[in-house]
Amino acid sequence: MNMHKIFGKILIGLLAICSTTLGIVNAETRWDCCEQGCHLAPAQPCCNDCGFFLGADFLYWNVRQANLDYAVDGRDDEFDDPFSVLSKGGALGPGKMHFMDFDWETGFRVVAGWRFGCDGWDMRALFTCFHSKAHGSTKANDLEGSRQLLEATLLSQNAKLFAQNAEKASAKNSLDYDVVDLLISKPYCISKTLISRPYLGIRALWMKQNLKAKYIGGENDGESPSLISADEPRIVKYNSDWEGAGLHAGLENNVRLCGCFSLYGNVSGSILAGRNSSQNKQTGFESSQEKTLILDIKEREYTALPGYQIGAGINWETEWCDICYVINLGYEMTHWLHTPQIRRYSSEDHVGSTSANSGNILLHGITFNANVYF
C-alpha cells in the first residue's frame, strides 16, 4: 500500500480521536484556575481563553552520523622490513581512517495550534525542515621506505579487475530531514513556580541521504599490477529515502525565575515504522579504458526507527494589547537509531557477505523560538 495513503489515514484517525477527547474533557470538570485563579509560570501563555497561536523556530544545527568513513591509509608491499607484519599484502597503516564531516547549517520549524479555553488543552501541528551536507577529501602520503596508498572503504571488494586503492579520495553526503508532528497537550500547575505539560501525538518523518565517493589513481591487484591513470576514477553513489510514521510523546517543564523569565526543559521519544528505498551504484574502468558497472543494487526494506529528543533553555514572556508573546533560546538534541547507511560488500570469496546497513544520526544545536498567542 502507498505510504502516503497510510499517513493520510493515520492523520485523519488522530484528528477524530483528538476532537472526541477534547469534547469530553470540556464537558466535564474544569480547572480550579477558572474560578479561583492559578499562578502559572511565565513560560506559559498569559491567557487561558480559547485562541489561535502561531510560532516559528530558527535552527542552527549540526549532524553527527556514524560510519561516514570513505578511505583508510594503507601500505604497499615495498615496506623495507620483510619480517614486519606491515610488509604483508593487505596490511593497513600506520595512518588513520578518513571520515566525512557535516557543516553547521540553518533550518526552521513552524507551529500552529488552538487552545481550548481555560482547561488548558491545546492541539498543535509542527513542521521541521533541516538540510545539511558533509564532505571530506584526502590523498596518499609517502612514508620512509614505502609508498602509502589509500584503501577505498566504500568500494565493493568483489571486482578484482578494479583497483581497490587510490592516490586520492573524496566523498560527500547530504541529509534532508523533514518532520511533521500532530500533538495534543495539557498544562498542569504543580506549584506557583512549576508547570508541566505532557503531550502525545503522531510523528511523520522523511529522511533522505545522497552519498558520492570518488577514488582516483592507485594500483590494480593481481599477479601483474598496473598503475591506474588519474583520469580513471572509480565512483560510488548511494541514495536512500526513508519515510515513516508512528507515536510521539513527551513532557515539557517550566520553572519560574523572576519577572517574565523562566527555564524550560523538554524530553520526548518516538517509535516510527516505515520503509527505506535505497540504491548502491558503483562504476570503474577496465584495462580497455571503458567505463564499466561494478555494482548496482537496489533495496526496499521495512524497518522501525526509534529516537529521543532533549532540549533546555530560557523563556521570556510578555503581554501587549491582549496578545501574548513568548520568546525562548535553548539547546536541542535529537538522536535517531537504526538509520539507513550504505551496505559494504566484503570480498570476492564471499560475494553475498555484507555488513549491516544501519547506523545512527544525531542532530543538535541552538534553537531560537518565538510564539504569538491571540
- Which is more confident, 38 or 191? 191
Within a domain: residue 87? Answer: yes
223 Cβ contact list (under 8 Å, min separation 6): none
Q: Is the distance from CB of 349 to CB of 339 less than 8 angstroms?
A: no
pLDDT of residue 158: 62
* pLDDT tens profile 158-191: 656 566 778 889 999 999 999 999 999 998 888 8
Q: Does residue 48 or residue 243 have the better pLDDT?
A: 243
Percentage of the residues of the chain whose pLDDT score is greater than 90? 45
- In angstroms, rounded to a whole number, what is the distance separating the alpha carbons of residues 143 and 146? 5
User: Mean of the per-residue pLDDT values for the chain?
Assistant: 79
CA-CA distance, 369 to 298, in Å (whole number)? 41
Q: Which residue, among 285, 314, 305, 287, has the nearest Cα to 360 in the 3D structure?
A: 305
Query: CA 327 to CA 372: how far, in whole Å?
Result: 9
User: What pLDDT shows up at residue 92?
Assistant: 62
| Higher per-residue pLDDT: 286 or 323 | 323
Among 118-127, 203-212, 358-367, the range scoring the smallest mean pLDDT is: 118-127
The per-residue pLDDT for range 56-110, each reduced to its tens digit, is 999 999 999 988 999 988 765 554 444 444 444 456 666 788 999 999 999 999 9
Residue 192, pLDDT score: 83
Would you say 45 and 326 are in contact if contact means Cβ atoms under 8 Å apart? yes
Is 140 part of a structural domain of the chain? yes
* Sequence-ordered alpha helix ranges (H) in the chain: 3-27, 33-36
Centre a 10 Å sphere on the Cβ of residue 118 and count the other Cβ atoms it contains: 16
Average pLDDT estimate for 339-368: 78
Is residue 1 situated within a structural domain?
no
pLDDT at 311 over 70: yes
Residue 185 has φ and ψ, to the nearest 5°, of -155, 165
Residue 370 has pLDDT above 50, yes or no: yes
- And the C-alpha cell for 9? 489515514
Residue 135 cell numbers, joined: 564532505
Query: Is residue 18 a part of any domain in this protein?
Result: no
User: Is residue 233 situated within a structural domain?
Assistant: yes
User: Which among 198, 185, 190, 182 is positioned nearest to 119, based on CA atoms?
Assistant: 185
Domain that holds residue 322: 45-373
The confidence score (pLDDT) of residue 82 equals 46
Band (pLDDT 50/70/90 cuts) for residue 36 is very low
Confidence class for position 39, pLDDT limits 50, 70, 90: very low
213 and 154 in contact (C-beta within 8 Å)? yes
Q: How far is CA 21 from the centre of its chain?
A: 33
**Mean pLDDT of the region 236-256:** 95
pLDDT classification of 208: cutoffs 50, 70, 90? very high
CATH of the domain at 127: 2.40.128
What mean pLDDT comes out for the span 114-123? 81
User: What is the DSSP-derived secondary structure letter of residue 191?
Assistant: S
Is 44 a residue whose pLDDT tops 50?
no
Q: Is the pLDDT of residue 283 over 90?
A: no
**What is the pLDDT at residue 26?**
38
pLDDT for residue 318: 83
Which of the 8 DSSP states describes residue 343?
P
| Residue 1: band (very low, low, confident or very high) from pLDDT cuts 50, 70, 90 | very low
Task: Provide the domain count of the chain.
Answer: 1
Residues in the chain: 374
CA angle centred on 130, ends 177 and 181, rounded to 5°: 65
Residue 19 covered by a domain: no
What distance lies between CA 225 and its chain's CA centroid?
Answer: 42
In a domain, residue 265? The reply is yes
β-strand 51-65 against 69-74: which pairing, if any?
Answer: unpaired
pLDDT at 234 over 80: yes
- Is 31 in contact with 120 (CB distance < 8 Å)? yes
Rounded CA-CA distance 59/152 in Å is 35
The highest-confidence range among 132-146, 198-212, 257-271, 355-369, by mean pLDDT, is 198-212
Residue 115 confidence (pLDDT) above 70: yes
The three-class DSSP label of residue 18 is helix
Q: What is the largest CA-CA distance in the chain?
A: 91
Confidence of residue 2 (pLDDT cuts 50, 70, 90): low
In a domain, 28, yes or no: no
